[in-house]
Structure 1
Amino acid sequence: MNTATDTTTAAEHAHTTAWIASVLRARIAAGQLTPGSKLSEQALSESLGVSRNTLRQAFATLAGESIVTRIPNRGVFVAAPGAEEVREIYRVRRTIEPSAVLWGRPTPAQLDAMDAIIRKAKAARDAGSVRDMANANQAFHEAVVSLTGSELLRELMDKVLAEMRLVFHAMSAAPDFHTHYVDRNAALVEQLRAGENERAAADLRAYLDAAEAELLGHLEGEAPNR
């Protein structure tokens, strides 16, 4: 028995599983995989060049993150988060994002990058593109968490934003959901440029509270008709 070889193989397998999970997570976050869609083992294993067993382990990782759902005898499906999942998402976001704004010391380059995201969001709003506004919103909040300088928090936020993308699909009947957050994002950057971190953190907490309330109002209002 070659312990060194076995250890290397196990590490490579774990790396491949993590890579597959990150690819699928990114596709969900980009809106390429929508809630309720079935994930075909055969198609994905062929397109990604991995075994079905490795793919199943990646599915298990994503199921643990509530991004996919396994239904016995039917397969694996992209999850459709409900009200409790939204509450959990915002518990995490309220813990991470205001702290990133409060304690972060953004460089001019980081602030310029956030301004560029806001310009894209405004262009999407003017064009009436809900998807592009959602993409810009996701990118903006990724940038907020990047202010922490923590790779672990960025990885956690990637998972949260992938689940958020699934929630956004539930808001398709409310296409103006993203529009009123564009200017709030712009105001946040202005506060950071002025060194008003405490004010920015407080406003961001209020922003997240408002977004959560709007999402819950929509989801819980729909529940009786589901």
Structure 2
Amino acid sequence: MTADASDLATGLSELAADRALLSRTSTAERVAAILRGRIAQGLFRPGVRLSEERIGGALGVSRNTLRESFRLLTHERLLVHRLNRGTFVRVLDVSDIHDIYRVRRLVECAALRGLGEPPYRLDEVRAAVEAGEQAAEKGDWQELGTANIRFHQAIAGLADSLRADDMMRGVLAELRLAFHVMADPRRFYEPYLSRNREILNTLDAGDAAAAERMLGFYLEDSRRQLIEAYPDEPESAGRR
């Protein structure tokens, strides 16, 4: 079994567990939310072709519902449809990475800048940091990556904006597609775990301005590291 086939099989198994989240009145938006979440967890790799029959069977939804969810995720730049070939998980290029980080700085740093007076509500941020530390203790680097995504979603959530939350869910899921290029996920994710804790501790101390500065340097370091690792010509199947 190839690596892509193995990844798809794992993803389908996880989707079967998600079936319980859907009811007979489930909508394409709910299916899209599940698939978006699984992409953000790294279960579907860039360039993988998504089988309507197998995914629809795993979730127990009609082909029409699944196709509509695919269209929603294509609009979010997570999937791409190829005529007579099917739907694929999108492969990002370097310009995508630059743009994603531009949006992240606009949203995440602004969320910290607008916090106002402490104390701040940091339960979600704290839970994400602790989940990352637990994943590192177990040596589960994929789960550490997922916890890191949760951390940044929680940082954006401090803006208390449903629109910002929705946008960041898509942006961070798209970013997870780029992380697959990192040959050594531990080397990529582990250094940022201590920086997540440092940002949390700084927010706990009530210094949002310092936390924002730290986050700005953090995002720039992450962007540079990812760009340096990114191939000049990613595989074409899941390109725009």
TM-score, normalised on structure 1? 0.84
> CA shift at 1:121, angstroms?
1.8
Closer, same or farther in 2 for the Cα pair 1:207/1:24, shift >3 Å?
same
Structure 2 distance, partners of 1:113, 1:138, is 12
Aligned counterpart for 1:191 among listed residues 202, 214, 219: 202
Matches within 5 A, 1:65-144: 65-104=76-115, 110-144=121-155
Match of 2:44 among 33, 50, 59: 33
* Structure 2 counterpart SS, 1:148: coil
Change (3 A) 1:175 1:137: same
Tell me how far 1:224 sits from its aligned partner.
Answer: 6.3
Cα deviations across residues 79-120 of structure 1 (Å, max 9, x unaligned)? 121211111111110100001111125986842442333233
Q: Is the 8 A contact 2:41 2:145 kept in 1?
A: no
What is residue 54 of structure 1 aligned with on the other side?
65
The one-letter code sitting in structure 2 at the alignment partner of 1:16 is T
* Partner SS state of residue 175, structure 1: helix
Structure 1 residue 157, shift from structure 2 partner: 0.8
- 8 Å contact from structure 1 (residues 106, 147) kept in 2: no
The TM-score with structure 2 as length reference comes to 0.79
**Which residue, 159, 180, 186 being the options, matches 1:169?**
180
CA contact (8 A) 1:142 1:158 kept: yes
The one-character-per-residue Cα deviations of 1:113-151 (angstroms, maximum 9, x if unpaired) are 423332332233344322121011011111111111111
Change (3 A) 1:224 1:112: closer
Match of 1:223 in 2: 232
Q: How many residues align?
A: 210
CA contact (8 A) 1:105 1:147 kept: no
Unaligned runs of 5+ in 1: 1-14
Q: CA deviation at 1:204?
A: 0.8
Aligned to 2:167: 156
Distance 1:193 1:81, change over 3 A: same
Residue 12 of structure 2 corresponds to none
Aligned 8 A contact 1:145 1:154 in 2:
yes
Larger deviation: 166-175 or 68-77? 166-175
| In 2, Cα distance between equivalents of 1:152 and 1:114 | 19
Q: Rg: which structure is higher? A: 1
- Partners of 1:196 and 1:151 lie apart in 2 by 24
CA contact (8 A) 2:73 2:79 kept: yes
CA RMSD of superposed structures (Å): 2.2
Deviation at 1:195, TM superposition (A): 1.7
Identity, in percent, stands at: 35
SS at match of 2:186: coil
Query: Equivalents in 2 of 1:131, 1:109: separation in Å?
Result: 29
